[in-house]
Structure 1
Amino acid sequence: MTDLLDDFSDALEKLSEQQAVAVSPLWMEVECADDRELYDVLYEGQAPRAGRDARLRMIRLMDRCPTWDTDVPGLPDRVEVAAVGRDLAWSLCYAWWRARQRHHVACLIFPAGDRRGWLPVSAIDEATSRPATEEVFHLAEAPELVEFWRCLFEREDVTEQDFFDRARQSFPHLVLADSLSFRKFDGSYPEMRDWVVRVLGVVHDHFADALALHSGQPHQVQAELGRFGLDLSPESPNTRSKPSIMKQRDIEHEGETYRCEWHGKRERHRNRVHFSLPDPRLGGRILIGIFVNHLDT
């Protein structure tokens, strides 16, 4: 129990440093185990027992979080999660209600169970008096939050105006050049958005590892990344032999020049996302430097 409390507190502390984290105003009253409220377990040390330091740390972190408003119309007091009924699960009730408003929130859960990712949550919709199901994201570790942010591009139909702010949350190991614009593609933002999200996801999650695994050998790295259903490659030897054309791949960012030779291709003849190698000047991160129809070759 002490280890689990520490794991939960680690996640909560990390998330609180990065995001707005709110708690139910009734969180202390939630039944924990054997008809005992969480208050009894944390303050009185009743079974299931945990170390004093772990209990006090969790209390301190939870007390620092603002509470969300319970005075909202249609907030249920009972939900079903993956067909399992839960009474007075206030945070899940609130997450379901927010999802009904098309504004998702993620739920940080205690790490003892195996609930992870998007799960169906059902409750009675007050407006129709009928059951309604929404998917709510469950996470137990802070790094899992990036999956939540990425899914919202489609689930909340993120606009072009908000795309780059959301992308910085979704892909923290990438740096996005200020000059990026969807208007430089041959295609509209709605047509291009989901493909760009896929490219950024693969580059963020796998590009540096593929480079290390294959000692930077281009064809092997390209084949490794091809497993994810995308065409990612460096420029051809013919293009690389032309200094003036390769200069089109150079991007100025905060007073430094980065060569964005690697690129993802949506189609053979058009629409590219160009990016750099991991760079020490960026703390080992990768610069996404160019959105473009096609550069000279």
Structure 2
Amino acid sequence: MNKLNCYLEENAFVAYLDDISANMVAIENFISTMESVDGAQVCNLYIPSNFYEIRTPDGEPTCQKIFALSADRNTRDALLRLGAIIDKAKTYPDVNNAPLRGLRQLEMRQAGGLISESADKFDWWNDNQMYAICTPSDLKFALRKHYVNELIDEKYFPSFCTHMFDNLYFSHQANTFGSLGVNYITHIKTFINHLSYLNDDVTEHFSIATTNLEKINRAAAFGVEISPESPLTRNNARAMRERYITISDQSICCEWHTKIEPQRGRIHFNAQPNRPKNITSIVGEKVIVGIFATHLLT
């Protein structure tokens, strides 16, 4: 599996330790972001091998700073979490005590994620292959770009899916790309873009749109073609049965669908509120991705 390698911009983080009380929000964000990366089996988290020896701006080694602060109950838990992450992270060797080690590693490799306090770019930054990860929620966007750029084998989609699409529930009828009847490599970007729209935007769009046409137009503005079924299909009971899936012994319709190609490649979904309670108890408020199909009966 081609994992996303993520590098900590350690100088930015260590600088906050000089005044941990004033910088606690920023420190917590750094730690939470590292925990998200560390917890994703499709990522590698890298830190310098001599992380604890790096000096803070006031000249004190990081290890001494952390030890002195660990007795404070207001900061102890965060520092314990930091220690756990550092112990598990992969390391790269220091190069001639060069500053900005995480940045240097990313610059040399020209691909990967940078765990940083901001999304500032550098003159060597390759926006197609590098990803700024400033908060835990940024990780899913980085992984989507990585998945497309690296043409990740479809057999690894389930492993990446959990971390790329936190607001989607996939039924057992939507777990094989081959069911879409389109070429995976040719359409990998479209496939990820469609699922990204369903994950990030469709719930809001469906909640504020007052007509089906408005829903269609809002999706089109994001480069995604969606559609409900035609009156002809709705009047065909056999065809409509194909749009239903079962969750917790309860049937639910996935009539709306995205279109990867004009005549094939359908991702059927349900983004409606007020679902049956036994379905909500399983999927919560997530968008249901119900069916991958070449084209269902009409």
**TM-score, L = length of structure 1:** 0.74
**Residues 109-159 of structure 1 deviation map (CA, whole Å, 9 limit, x = unaligned):** 3x3xx336x86758xxxxxxxxx9994433221111101110112222201
AA in 2 matched with 1:5: I
Whose RCO is larger (CA < 8 A, sep 6+)? 2
CA contact (8 A) 2:171 2:291 kept: yes
Alpha-carbon shift at residue 18 of structure 1 (Å)? 5.2
CA distance in 1, matches of 2:73, 2:107: 33
AA in 2 matched with 1:62: L
More strand by share: 1
- Matching of residues 202-221 of structure 1 within 5 Å: 202-214=197-209, 217-221=211-215
1:4 to 26, 38, 55: 26
AA in 2 matched with 1:64: A
CA distance in 2, matches of 1:14, 1:162: 19
2:244 to 247, 250, 267: 250
1:42 corresponding residue in structure 2: 66
AA in 2 matched with 1:29: E
CA distance in 2, matches of 1:29, 1:10: 22
CA contact (8 A) 2:36 2:139 kept: no
2:190 corresponding residue in structure 1: 195
Relative distance call for 1:153 and 1:12 in structure 2 (3 A) is: closer
CA contact (8 A) 2:167 2:199 kept: yes
CA contact (8 A) 1:2 1:51 kept: no
- Residue aligned with 1:288, SS: strand
**Is 1:292 paired with 2:296?**
no
- Matching of residues 10-21 of structure 1 within 5 Å: 10-13=32-35, 16=38, 21=45
2:148 to 145, 154, 161: 154
CA distance in 2, matches of 1:18, 1:135: 19
**Is 1:91 paired with 2:91?**
no
2:271 corresponding residue in structure 1: 277
CA distance in 1, matches of 2:242, 2:218: 27
2:9 corresponding residue in structure 1: none
1:107 corresponding residue in structure 2: 114
1:126 corresponding residue in structure 2: none
Alpha-carbon shift at residue 241 of structure 1 (Å)? 2.3
2:82 corresponding residue in structure 1: 62
**Alignment root-mean-square deviation, CA:** 3.3
1:84 corresponding residue in structure 2: none
- Residue aligned with 2:290, SS: strand
CA distance in 2, matches of 1:25, 1:58: 21
- Residue aligned with 1:187, SS: coil
1:129 corresponding residue in structure 2: none
Between the aligned residues of both structures, percent identity stands at 17
Alpha-carbon shift at residue 253 of structure 1 (Å)? 4.3
2:231 to 237, 245, 249: 237
CA distance in 2, matches of 1:236, 1:179: 22
AA in 1 matched with 2:199: H
2:5 corresponding residue in structure 1: none
Alpha-carbon shift at residue 277 of structure 1 (Å)? 2.2
**Residues 13-53 of structure 1 deviation map (CA, whole Å, 9 limit, x = unaligned):** 555555575543322222332444434543446xxxx9944
**TM-score, L = length of structure 2:** 0.74
AA in 2 matched with 1:56: R
**Is 1:171 paired with 2:165?**
yes
Instruction: Give the unaligned 5+ runs of structure 1.
Output: 79-86, 123-131
AA in 2 matched with 1:31: R
